[in-house]
């Protein structure tokens, strides 16, 4: 099969619950990666990417492995499973954050996912507050089992191909963490790297809220 273009990227599976997940997870699943979306950030093509997944309504994707590659307009077989490790759970949360923010921070969040997964080939300083956010959520038990049960990770049969994770829209865990962060920052008497980083998050969240308002008009 002709290799179209390497996708050394961070891909987020937006929207979609898996149908009959228990049965399907035990059988080979086909993931079809769509066309190059032309979304470049720091020399990387970042998601979300269009695509389809067997038995799933998901249409957008983020990958977990910057150090591997995929090809646009290509089909891959593999399996699916729920997040298992803490790294996968934080990555699932970050993918949901990207969806929650209407994809206003996909580049830094993609790099944060790769850094969490230990697959990053480049470190992005702008990913730092998102990494802090994921750690904050994990340490406080705010990434809930109910949320994680909705998330799927597609693992290709070929270990040299990137894995993909679903990003859940309307995730209540994200809203809960953002409220907890606002409370935590307001209680901190002096500026710190953590607090200053979340000032940037506040800008991103405000931008996302304004964008959602415009879309509803």
How confident is the model at residue 202, as a pLDDT? 52
Using the CB atoms, write b or e for 61-85: b if 16+ within 10 Å. Answer: bbbbbbebbbbbebebebebebbee
The number of helices, as runs of H, and strands, as runs of E, in the chain is: 7, 9
pLDDT tens readout for residues 51-62:
888 888 888 789
Kind and range of the H or E run holding 210? helix 193-216
How confident is the model at residue 201, as a pLDDT? 56
Taking Cα atoms as reference points, which of 12, 181, 16, 199 lies closest to residue 99? 12
HSE-up (13 A, CA, CB side) for residue 144: 10
How confident is the model at residue 188, as a pLDDT? 47
How confident is the model at residue 49, as a pLDDT? 82
How confident is the model at residue 185, as a pLDDT? 55
Token pair listed for 4:
């179209």
Roughly what angle, to the nearest 10 degrees, separates helices 172-186 and 193-216?
130
How confident is the model at residue 167, as a pLDDT? 78
Low-confidence ranges of the chain (pLDDT < 50): 1-6, 10-26, 188-196, 203, 206-217
pLDDT tens readout for residues 138-173:
999 999 999 998 889 999 999 999 999 987 777 788
CB 64 within 8 A of CB 162: yes
- The DSSP annotation for 1-57 comes to -----B--S--EEES-PBTTHHHHTTS-EEEEE------EETTEE-S-EEEEETTB-
Roughly what angle, to the nearest 10 degrees, separates helices 172-186 and 86-100?
90
CB 114 within 8 A of CB 9: no
Q: In whole angstroms, what is the distance from residue 187 CA to residue 94 CA?
A: 24
3-state secondary structure of 141: coil
Token pair listed for 100:
């929650």
What Rg value do the Cα atoms of the chain yield, rounded? 17
Alpha helices in 67-192 (DSSP H): 86-100, 106-117, 128-139, 145-148, 172-186
How confident is the model at residue 175, as a pLDDT? 82
Cis check for the bond before 48: say yes or no (omega within 30 of 0): yes
């Amino acid at each position: 099969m002709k290799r179209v273009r390497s996708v050394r990227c961070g891909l987020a599976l937006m929207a979609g619950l898996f149908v009959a997940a228990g049965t399907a997870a035990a059988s080979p699943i086909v993931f079809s990666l769509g066309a190059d979306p032309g979304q470049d950030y720091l020399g990387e093509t970042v998601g979300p990417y269009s695509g389809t997944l067997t038995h799933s309504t998901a249409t957008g994707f983020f990958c977990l492995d910057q150090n591997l590659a995929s090809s646009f307009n290509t089909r891959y077989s593999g399996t699916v499973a729920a997040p298992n490790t803490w790294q996968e759970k934080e990555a699932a949360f970050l993918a949901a954050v990207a969806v929650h923010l209407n994809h206003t921070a996909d580049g830094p969040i993609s790099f944060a996912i790769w850094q969490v997964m230990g697959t990053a080939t480049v470190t992005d300083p702008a990913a730092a507050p998102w990494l802090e956010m994921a750690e904050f959520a994990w340490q406080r038990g705010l990434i809930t089992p109910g949320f994680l049960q909705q998330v799927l990770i597609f693992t290709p049969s070929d270990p040299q191909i990137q894995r993909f994770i679903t990003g859940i829209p309307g995730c209540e865990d994200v809203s809960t963490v953002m409220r907890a962060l606002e409370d935590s920052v307001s209680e901190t008497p002096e500026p710190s790297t953590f607090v200053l980083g979340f000032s940037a998050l506040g800008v991103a969240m405000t931008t996302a809220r304004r964008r959602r308002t415009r879309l509803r008009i």
